[in-house]
Amino acid sequence: MGKPANGKAGAGREVTQAEWAAHEARQPTGLVWAVVTTGIHCRDGCPGRPLQRNTRAFATRAEAEAAGFRACKRCGGGG
């Protein structure tokens, strides 16, 4: 699978400012952070720092993977 195009790995919802602020502050949010430009999903506190506009939030790892995202190799993925 290459980069997500229209559809598959572009699912999820946009991250809110409040959620993003918590993520940047490395506070636990319980969300799965999926990055549309890389096709991976991360947990809270992952050292990866994607742009907010490239990031989507999922409630569970299963939802992120169903949308075509793979677990991050650095943090093991979200959820």
Residues that bind Zn ion (CB under 5 A): 42, 46, 48, 72, 74-75
Token pair in block for residue 21: 């602020």
- We find the least distance from the C-beta atom of residue 71 to Zn ion, in angstroms, to be 8
- Nearest CB to Zn ion, comparing residues 11 and 48: 48
CB of 47 to Zn ion, least distance (A): 7
Indicate the SS3 state at residue 29: coil
- How many of the other CB atoms lie within 10 Å of CB of 61? 18
- Tell me the closest approach of the beta carbon of residue 30 to Zn ion, in angstroms: 15
Taking CA 27 as the corner, what is the angle to CA 77 and CA 3, rounded to the nearest 5 degrees? 35
Nearer CB in complex with Zn ion: 15/42? 42
By beta carbon distance, the residue nearest Zn ion is 72
Question: HEC string of 2-16?
Answer: CCCCCCHHHCCEECC
